[in-house]
Amino acid sequence: MGSVEVYILGQKYTIKGDASEEYMQRLAGYVNAKIKEVYNSSPSITPVKASILAALNIADELHKLKTEQEDIAKHIEEKANTLTGLFE
């Protein structure tokens, strides 16, 4: 398990994990960009509120992608069942 120093909103954080340094830097960059998006739309917001809103935006993206993935998996399963039925 390695550790990587990343910067989010100018603050240094040390992240420990099994992922590569490049991957952890990309994640931190993504989080930083999302928080900055919130700041750009509401410049007077506090860092904590901006972080929470960014986390909600990221959670929304994740939820939508999971739902889309589940729908695709169901569709593939239905098609596979249809094809299997053709061979019986």
Give the pLDDT band (50/70/90) at residue 85. Answer: confident
Cβ atoms 6, 15 nearer than 8 A = yes
State the DSSP code for 19: S
Residue 80 lies in domain:
2-87
Q: What is the pLDDT of residue 88?
A: 73
Cβ atoms 51, 37 nearer than 8 A = no
What's the structural domain count of the chain?
A: 1
**How does pLDDT run across 9-61, given as a tens digit for each residue?**
999 999 999 999 999 999 999 999 999 999 999 989 999 999 999 999 999 99
**How does pLDDT run across 58-69, given as a tens digit for each residue?**
999 999 999 999
11-17 vs 2-8, strand pairing mode: antiparallel
Q: By CB neighbour count within 10 A (0-12 exposed, 13-18 middle, 19+ buried), where does 28 fall? A: middle
